[in-house]
Amino acid sequence: MTTSTSEDFHPDKAFVRRHVAHFIAFGGGAGLSPAAPGTAGTLAAFPLFWLLDYFLDPAKLLWLIAALFLIGIWACNVTGKALGAHDHGGMVWDEIVAFLLVLVFTPHSLIWQAFAFLLFRLFDIIKPPPIRYYDNKLRGGFGVMFDDLLAAFFTLLCLAAWKAFVI
């Protein structure tokens, strides 16, 4: 496989299956979505969260999310190098892990979770300061994962404010 940049190579199912890091970074294939792969990755976090939340208490779930974050640093680093693009749009593990964190602290109702989804996507797409700063400055797997962690923080901050002042 010869790849020089992400512009001339479009990952496919074979690429995702080629290495476990690619499979992880592409969220098991969710990142192959032709439209809005980041949104597809964020949506993939819902069933994963519902399954994990059923079997794990919140503390164990947080430990698992921390481990998934570390795995994501490795997987996104390996995959970014293979693609020649540090933060390829198809790498959605960062959205999945960050949104899992959001869901842990979001009330278990569909309206709260839907609002959390919309806020998270908004922050991930528009990247307000300091998210954009870190997105531009940090490279490698940590950079890929960190900006979404900040988007999760902003989302949780808004949800907490909404809960404290509106409801």
* Domain membership of residue 58 as a residue range: 13-165
Instruction: Note whether residue 137 is domain-resident.
Output: yes
Digit-coded pLDDT (tens) for 66-120: 999 999 999 999 999 999 998 999 999 999 999 999 999 999 999 999 999 999 9
pLDDT range class, residue 9, cuts 50, 70, 90: confident
**By the 8 A CB rule, do 42 and 96 touch?**
yes
How many domains are there within the chain? 1
| CA 145/CA 166 separation, integer angstroms | 31
In a domain, 102, yes or no: yes
Is 112 within a domain? Answer: yes
For residue 43, is it within any domain? yes
Rounded Cα–Cα distance for residues 87 and 79 (Å): 9
Asked whether residue 1 is assigned to any structural domain, the reply reads no
For residue range 43-57, what is the model confidence (pLDDT) as tens digits? 999 999 999 999 999
Please report whether residue 8 resides in a domain. no
What's the CA dihedral at 142, 4, 35, 111 to 10 degrees?
0
- Alpha-carbon gap, residue 91 to 96, rounded angstroms: 10
Note the pTM of the prediction, 2 decimals.
Answer: 0.92
Residue 3, in any domain of the structure = no
**What is the token pair recorded at 156?**
């949780």
Of 126, 129, 107, nearest to 116 (Cα)?
107
Show the tokens assigned to 11. Answer: 């990952």
What is the Cα–Cα distance from 78 to 69, expressed in whole angstroms? 14
Residue 149 within any structural domain of the chain? yes
Are the CB atoms for 41 and 96 separated by under 8 Å? yes
